[in-house]
Amino acid sequence: MNIKTADFVCSNTQVSRLPLPLKPEFAFIGRSNVGKSSLINMLTQKKGLAKTSQTPGKTQLINHFLVNEQWYIVDLPGYGYARISKNKKEDWNKFIRNYLDKRESLQCVMVLIDSRLEPQKIDLEFCNWLGEKGLPFVLVFTKADKQSSIKTDQNVAKFRRAIMSTFEEAPQHFVTSSETLYGRDEVLEFIDGINRN
């Protein structure tokens, strides 16, 4: 897919204020600092479109970006950030889960997983919740440039094995690097395939 335009539309804390659900949308979610905002900038090839930071907890709102005037990328706050209060965590749970569960134009949840890490309980639990809700999702392993491809493959295989304990079929997955553009074509092709249907 050729990306001609990618523009910021709005940031929200309330599901009731989101853009009308008239265009297909793809939500990017995962642990704080996993690289959601960086991946969005990499996919759109627009540096600074989504705000990134070395400090976890940068993205705090539901951010809509319109691509090619046809579909939305949604950047979400990360989960599992240890240094936020219990109240804030509960807020996160409520408003993000409410968004994911209720958004009728949501086509697929892109669950980002740090390819450097062994399977993390919080990621597996989040995938299980998506499964319980019947929400379609794929796994996007990030930061593949940070270690050897052998190590990445091992971690991907471990995560797939772990997720198979609750899912009959492992979800589709992509390996990416926002530094090298690795995996960009595959992710965009996947999105294009859904948009064409």
Element (H, E) at 39: helix 36-44
Q: Enumerate the H helices of 134-177 as residue ranges.
A: 149-163
Element (H, E) at 133: helix 121-133
What binding mask, one character per residue, do residues 95-114 give for ligand GTP by CB under 6 A, x or -? --------------------
Site for ligand GTP (CB under 6 A): which residue of 44, 59, 63, 155? Answer: 59
Sign of CA dihedral 44, 46, 47, 48: negative
Check: CB of residue 142 under 8 Å from CB of residue 113. Answer: yes
The three-state secondary structure class of 26 is strand
Check: CB of residue 23 under 8 Å from CB of residue 9. Answer: no
What binding mask, one character per residue, do residues 38-57 give for ligand GTP by CB under 6 A, x or -? x-------------xxx-xx
Check: CB of residue 152 under 8 Å from CB of residue 175. Answer: yes
Report how far Cα 70 is from the mean position of its chain's Cα atoms. Answer: 19
Site for ligand GTP (CB under 6 A): which residue of 18, 66, 74, 78? Answer: 78
Site for ligand GTP in 8-37 (CB under 6 A): 32-37
Residue 94 contact, options Mg ion, ligand GTP, none, Cβ 5-8 Å cut-off depending on partner type: none
The three-state secondary structure class of 185 is helix
The yes or no reply on residue 143 touching ligand GTP (CB under 6 A) is yes
C-beta of 107 vs 115, nearer to ligand GTP: 115
What binding mask, one character per residue, do residues 37-76 give for Mg ion by CB under 5 A, x or -? x--------------------xx-----------------
Type of residue numbered 8: F
The yes or no reply on residue 152 touching ligand GTP (CB under 6 A) is no
C-beta of 58 vs 64, nearer to Mg ion: 58
The footprint of ligand GTP (CB under 6 A) covers: 32-38, 52-54, 56-59, 77-78, 142-143, 145-146, 177-179
The footprint of Mg ion (CB under 5 A) covers: 36-37, 58-59
